[in-house]
Every structure is written in C-alpha cells, then in structure tokens.
Amino acid sequence: MRFEVQVEVRLREGIADPQGQTIERSLPHLGFGGVSGVRVGKSIRFTLDAASEEQARAEVADMCTRFLTNPVIEDSAVSIEAVDAAGVA
Amino acid sequence: MRFEVQVEVRLREGIADPQGQTIERSLPHLGFGGVSGVRVGKSIRFTLDAASEEQARAEVADMCTRFLTNPVIEDSAVSIEAVDAAGVA
C-alpha cells in the first residue's frame, strides 16, 4: 500500500524560536497587526510504501524519533493518508 | 475574534529541494525503505486577532504573498481556526 505522509516538526513549548520572533517583530512594520505567538517549524512530506497503515505509522514514528526530529527540543505531528498506486487519495 | 493560523509554505513542484533529497538519500542507510518524493517546507503557526474570519483570511493571504513566501518558488496552504479568548478551539 502507498501512503502520503506529512510530518510537522515543531519546537517544544518554551524553546526559544528566534525565526518566529523575527517574523513577529517584522509584521507590524508591514502593516499586519494582531499577530502573536509566531512559531516556525518544518513540514516534511513524502510518499511511503508499506504493507499496512499500522506498519506505515510505526515506521514514520520511528523515523521521527531517530532522524527527523531532535526529541530534546522538538516534537512532531504525523498525518498519514492512504492513496492508490496512481497517487490519488 | 481570535484565530489559530497555520501556514504551510511549500516549494512549488519542479523546484529543486536539496534538503528533501538529502533526507531521501539518508533514510535507506538508517533502515527505512519505501520512501520517495521527500519535500521539506515550513510550517508557520501564530495567533491572529481580527474582526471576522473573512478579514483574518484576507490578512493571512496578503501576509503570505508579501512576506511569508517567495511566490516565485513557493506556494502556501493556510488553515484558520477560531478560538475563544482563552485559546480553546
């Protein structure tokens, strides 16, 4: 089976986010008000071939812990969607 | 009204993604098979105070075009969710 996977990698709460702070400080100068709490993370998308959704989820969880995130400062949110071989959901 | 906003910034199709290619090449060496088409984007989250959902959407769309993305090589997907003042959806 084929799956479309999205992994969102976010800095944990309390970890400083200088990129987010820079965006937040810049927006008012560009005329955008009312914005607070800007946090910048990564969005990693890929296609995964696996025997079952269960196996796909286990593989992605393992990938996140061992490779895609730094678990000390980051956590991740995973979304997995089965698609047919032609890539249509 | 208060909104939780997520902007996913993605490289457009056909634009080279060296970071994604590096991840894709590394995964098999770590024992993760079946992964293809890795693309790395940004996930920007923030809180926005706006008069209405319509105004919030317009402001975020404008922000994406003028500041958060480079429209030549990137596009964006926006999700907006209204929350009460305490921050609960």
CB contact under 8 A, A43 and B41: yes
Record: contact A34-B27, CB cut-off 8 A: no
What length is written for chain A? 89
In a domain, B19, yes or no: no
Chain A residues within 8 A (CB-CB) of chain B? 8-10, 20, 23-24, 26-27, 30, 32-50, 59, 62-63, 66-68
Q: Which of A39, A45, A48 is nearest residue B45 as measured by Cβ atoms? A: A39
Q: Is residue A47 part of a domain?
A: yes
User: Domain range spanning residue A15?
Assistant: 2-83
* Cα–Cα distance for residue pair B2/A10, rounded to 1 Å: 22
Residues 6+ apart with CB under 8 A from B64: B7, B9, B76, B78
Within a domain: B33: no
ipTM exceeding 0.95? Answer: no
- Say if the Cβ atoms of B43 and A46 lie within 8 Å: no
Report how many domains make up chain A.
1
Residue A10 in any domain: the answer is yes
Residue B21 lies in a domain: no
Domain-located, residue A71: yes
B79 domain residue, yes or no: yes
Task: For residue B47, give the CATH number of its domain.
Answer: 3.30.1280.10
Q: For B10-32, how does the pLDDT look when each residue is reduced to its tens digit (9 = 90+)?
A: 999 999 999 999 999 999 999 99
Establish if B61 belongs to a structural domain: yes
Share above pLDDT 70 across residues of chain A, in percent, rounded to a whole number: 94
pLDDT digits (tens, 9 = 90+) for A34-71: 999 999 999 999 999 999 999 999 999 999 999 999 99
